[in-house]
Amino acid sequence: MVLLKDKKALITGGSTGIGAAIAIGFARHGADVAITFVGEKEDAAELSAQISSLEREFISIEADVTDYSVAGKVVSSVVEGFKGLDILVCNAGINIDSAVWKMEENEWDSVIDVNLKGCFNYIRAVSPIFKNQKSGKIITISSINGLRGKFGLSNYSASKAGIIGLTKSVAKEMGRYDVNVNSVAPGFIETAMTAKLSSEIREGAIKESALGRLGKPEDVANLVLFLASDEAKYITGQVIQVDGGQLI
Ligand code: NAD
> What are 167-191's pLDDT values in tens digits?
999 999 999 999 999 999 999 999 9
Q: Which atom of ligand 1 is nearest the CA belonging to 90?
A: 32
For the Cβ of 189 lying below 6 angstroms from any atom of ligand 1, the answer is yes
Q: What is the per-residue pLDDT for 31?
A: 98
* Residue 36 near residue 92 (C-beta atoms within 8 A): yes
pLDDT in tens, 203-217: 999 999 999 999 999
For the Cβ of 214 lying below 6 angstroms from any atom of ligand 1, the answer is no
Average pLDDT over residues 151-166: 98
16 CA distance to ligand 1 middle (Å)? 8
Q: DSSP letter at 216? A: -
Give the distance, in angstroms, between the CA of residue 16 and the centroid of all CA atoms in the same chain. Answer: 11
Q: Whose CA is nearest to atom 31 of ligand 1?
A: 93
From residue 228, alpha-carbon distances to 6, 31, 222 in Å are 13, 11, 10
98 CA distance to ligand 1 middle (Å)? 18
3-state helix, strand, coil in the chain (%, to 5): 50, 15, 35
| Cα torsion 82, 55, 48, 197: sign | positive
* Residue 243 near residue 188 (C-beta atoms within 8 A): yes
From residue 84, alpha-carbon distances to 6, 87, 96, 101, 181 in Å are 10, 10, 36, 47, 18
From residue 138, alpha-carbon distances to 200, 209, 221 in Å are 35, 28, 14
* Beta strands per DSSP E along 38-163: 58-62, 87-90, 136-141
For the Cβ of 64 lying below 6 angstroms from any atom of ligand 1, the answer is yes
**Percent of the chain clearing pLDDT 70 (strictly above):** 100
Q: DSSP letter at 199? A: H
CA distance 189 to 67: 27
Q: What is the per-residue pLDDT for 243?
A: 98
Residues labelled catalytic = 156
pLDDT in tens, 112-133: 999 999 999 999 999 999 999 9
Mean pLDDT taken over the chain: 98
- How many residues does the structure list for the chain? 248
* Residue 208 near residue 222 (C-beta atoms within 8 A): no
CA distance 234 to 76: 28
Q: DSSP letter at 114? A: I
For the Cβ of 13 lying below 6 angstroms from any atom of ligand 1, the answer is yes
CA distance 123 to 138: 8
Q: Is the pLDDT of residue 40 over 90?
A: no
* Residue 33 near residue 11 (C-beta atoms within 8 A): yes
Ordered by where they begin, the domains of the chain are 8-242 (3.40.50.720)
